């Protein structure tokens, strides 16, 4: 299952509204690089095929191709401020060797 933070969902919906996209479908893609890490892509898409996986979360229909399914299992997409004023989507994925868990120290 793919997770989407509220921050990411809000940004995706704002981008769709800004682009006048009425049928919200977000395509995700993942490919494994030679070093084993995973490269991600996403964008609005209206070319859904019968072989695509489809899942709705927070009002957003996400689709991905069969060959990306195992690489995307368990991923959480977030939208965060990396440096002051610079926001980016990030993929937290336990399947990616470069994944680092974010834990809160108490």
Q: What are phi and psi of 9, to 5 degrees?
A: -60, -45
**44 strand-pairing partners:** 26
Mean per-residue pLDDT of the chain: 87
Q: CA of 17: how far to CAs of 14, 23, 74, in Å?
A: 5, 10, 28
Q: How far apart are the first and last CA of the chain?
A: 29
pLDDT in tens, 38-70: 999 999 988 878 889 999 999 999 999 999 999
Fold of domain 3-92: Hypothetical Protein Aq_1857; Chain: A; (2.60.300)
Q: Model's pTM, two decimal places?
A: 0.83
CA triplet 47, 53, 57: central angle to 5 degrees? 95
In our burial notation (b when 16+ CB lie closer than 10 A, e otherwise), range 44-82 reads ebeeeeeebeeeeeeebebbbeeebeebbeebbbbbeee
Average pLDDT over residues 6-35: 92
Average pLDDT over residues 18-27: 87
Quote the CA–CA distance of 55 and 33 in Å, as a whole number.
Answer: 25
């Amino acid at each position: 299952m793919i997770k989407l933070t509220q921050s990411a969902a809000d940004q995706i919906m704002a981008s769709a509204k800004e682009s006048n996209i009425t049928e919200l479908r977000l395509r995700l893609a993942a490919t494994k690089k030679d070093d084993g890490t995973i490269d991600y892509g996403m964008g609005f898409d209206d070319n859904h095929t019968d072989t695509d996986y489809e899942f709705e979360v927070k009002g957003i229909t996400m689709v991905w191709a069969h060959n990306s399914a195992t690489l995307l299992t368990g991923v959480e997409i977030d939208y965060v401020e990396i440096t002051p004023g610079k926001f980016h989507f990030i993929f937290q994925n336990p399947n990616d060797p470069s994944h680092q868990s974010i834990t809160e120290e108490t």
